[in-house]
Amino acid sequence: MHKSGEIRVLALGLIRDGDRIFISEGYDPVKEQTFYRAMGGGVEFGETSLEALGREFQEEIQAELKNVRYLGCLENIFTFNGKSGHEIVQLYGCDFVDDEFYQKEKILFNEGKRQKTALWVDINRFKSGELKLVPEQFFDYL
């Protein structure tokens, strides 16, 4: 986890398959709210955001990416678990190398000590407001 008061740099991959996107599920216990975000993670010192994207997908779900293209940079200021957060997100569009990932409804993985879920979700569930996609600027890329 990052230190309070610091800006965190993330590399996230937006994977789309028709009307579905592959995202990670999160939960804020203070807000008692489930939310969803594109998969990826923090950029480590000395690595590029592109390298971080590949490393994170490999570490979390043992997946390789192809057709990786830079989409843009987002800034996200938010509150999670009662604490303020600030992220700079390098967003990439990409595809899975292994077509098997498109057949899986969900994948359980560990991020540190937390067990998390990645899954395919219909974009319309976010657009209707049924589910919460963060940051909201992701809608500009769907």
pLDDT value for 111 = 83
Question: What's the pLDDT band for 76 if we cut at 50, 70, 90?
Answer: very high
pLDDT value for 113 = 84
Q: Are 64 and 37 in contact (CB under 8 A)?
A: no
Closest CA to 36 of 135, 111, 104: 135
Tell me what the pLDDT averaged over the chain comes to: 94
Condensed to tens digits (0 to 9), the pLDDT of residues 38-70 reads 999 999 999 999 999 999 999 999 999 999 999
Q: pTM for the whole thing?
A: 0.93
State residue 47 phi and psi, 5-degree precision: -115, 150
Condensed to tens digits (0 to 9), the pLDDT of residues 82-98 reads 999 999 999 999 999 99
Question: What's the pLDDT band for 5 if we cut at 50, 70, 90?
Answer: confident
Q: Are 42 and 51 in contact (CB under 8 A)?
A: no
Q: d(Cα 49, Cα 55) in Å, to the nearest integer?
A: 10
